[in-house]
């Protein structure tokens, strides 16, 4: 067995000792979007540093714990805080928890993130369903020997984000008077926010939002055959901020303000699965 499979099995059996059932839905909460965890009837919660082979999150606003419980009556495994390439983790470490989730039985992955708005008419606080992505220098996490037990060497990426889940989210949003945008998420490495020239480049490439996460996680989720739904909370409009600078605090605040809409959407999606 490869070293990766060995490690995965150790992580999975550690978590399995605490959950004695299959869990079908996994959620990853982005920067400033951790409050959804408060709505979960928690059965158990494990800080990342106690989980064998799990990386440890270092960013402010990321609590770094794995939560298992019920949201809207459905079992869910939630990562409160994710791992980013800019923290110094390898792309394989960033996406390690996705593989763990898959081996625990997760087949649907809901992702959230904070992102910069690039699309025309975008406003801070908007929610944007990600309907496709462009990896701008985010290293592909599948580089290296392929783990056949997990997925194929050359995964198809024609529908990285499930059209069926997008449709469901659109109808949940309209029932609840939540306005949603849709668009292409550009994944960058960070940790710098973009220069004005880079925001313009992303706009001209067809990017509608830009952020430092999600793409590597989605790639690994698709590799292992999961359905993915991802949504960005637009926390700043770098492309238009002629005089303003962007700060991490501003990003966290805008994410926090928009968070209730996101919780509603995720719990609606969960109930529909
Ligand atoms: N750029 C990249 N990542 C981000 C941004 C941004 O403007 N806002 C929040 N995350």
> Can you spell out the DSSP letters for 242-256?
SS----HHHHHHHHH
**Distance between CA atoms of 98 and 74, rounded to whole angstroms?**
19
pLDDT digits over 150-172, tens only? 999 999 999 999 999 999 999 99
pLDDT at 13 over 70: yes
Q: Provide the percentage of residues in the chain whose pLDDT is more than 70.
A: 96
pLDDT attached to residue 14: 95
CA atoms within 13 A on the CB side of 92: 12
CATH code, 247:
3.40.50.1580
Confidence band, pLDDT 50/70/90 cuts, at residue 81: confident
Arithmetic mean of pLDDT over the chain: 91
pLDDT attached to residue 55: 85
pLDDT attached to residue 58: 60
Residue 114 φ/ψ, nearest 5 degrees: -95, 140
pLDDT attached to residue 140: 97
Mean pLDDT across the stretch 105-122? Answer: 94
pLDDT at 173 over 90: yes
**Can you give the pTM of this predicted structure?**
0.94
CA 22 to chain centre: 21
Of 235, 237, 258, which is best to mutate to test ligand 1, by the most ligand atoms within 8 angstroms of its C-beta?
Answer: 235
Q: What DSSP state is assigned to residue 9?
A: H
CA atoms within 13 A on the CB side of 30: 29
Residues 6+ apart with CB under 8 A from 234: 115, 116, 117, 122, 123, 124, 125, 126, 127, 128, 209, 254, 258
Helix (H, G, I), strand (E, B) or coil at 212: coil
pLDDT digits over 23-78, tens only? 999 999 987 777 888 889 999 999 998 999 998 756 554 568 899 999 988 999 99
pLDDT attached to residue 12: 95
Q: Provide the percentage of residues in the chain whose pLDDT is more than 90.
A: 70
Burial zone of 120 (CB within 10 Å; 0-12 exposed, 13-18 middle, 19+ buried) = exposed
pLDDT at 142 over 80: yes
pLDDT at 217 over 60: yes
CA 55 to centroid of ligand 1, rounded, Å: 23
**Distance between CA atoms of 265 and 256, rounded to whole angstroms?**
15
Number of domains in the chain: 1
Mean pLDDT across the stretch 167-178? Answer: 94
Residues at CB less than 6 angstroms from ligand 1: 114-116, 188, 190, 193-194, 210-212, 235-236, 238, 246, 251
Q: Which domain holds residue 112?
A: 3-272
Of 31, 82, 238, which is best to mutate to test ligand 1, by the most ligand atoms within 8 angstroms of its C-beta?
Answer: 238
pLDDT attached to residue 226: 98
């Amino acid at each position: 067995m490869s070293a990766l499979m060995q490690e995965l099995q150790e992580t999975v059996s550690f978590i399995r000792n605490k959950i004695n059932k299959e869990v079908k839905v996994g959620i990853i909460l982005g920067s400033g979007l951790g409050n959804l965890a408060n709505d979960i009837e928690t059965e158990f919660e494990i800080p990342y540093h106690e989980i064998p082979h799990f990386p440890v999150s270092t960013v402010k606003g990321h609590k770094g714990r794995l939560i298992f419980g019920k949201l809207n009556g459905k079992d869910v495994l939630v990562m409160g805080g994710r791992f980013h390439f800019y923290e110094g983790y390898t792309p394989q470490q960033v996406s390690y928890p996705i593989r763990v989730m898959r081996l625990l039985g997760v087949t649907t992955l809901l992702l959230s993130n904070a992102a910069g708005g690039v699309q025309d008419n975008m406003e801070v606080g908007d929610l944007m369903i990600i309907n496709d992505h462009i990896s701008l220098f985010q290293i592909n996490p599948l580089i290296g020997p392929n783990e056949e037990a997990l997925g194929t060497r050359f995964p198809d990426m024609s529908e990285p984000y499930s059209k069926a889940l997008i449709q469901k989210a659109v109808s949940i949003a309209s029932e609840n008077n939540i306005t949603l945008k849709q668009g292409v998420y550009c994944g960058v490495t960070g940790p710098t926010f973009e220069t004005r020239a880079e925001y313009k480049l992303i706009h001209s490439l067809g990017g509608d939002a830009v952020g430092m996460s999600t793409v590597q996680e989605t790639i690994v989720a698709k590799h292992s055959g999961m359905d993915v739904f991802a949504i960005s909370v637009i926390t700043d409009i770098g492309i238009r901020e002629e005089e303003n600078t962007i700060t991490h605090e501003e990003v966290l605040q805008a994410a926090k303000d928009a968070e209730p809409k996101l919780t509603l959407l995720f719990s609606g999606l969960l109930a529909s699965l």
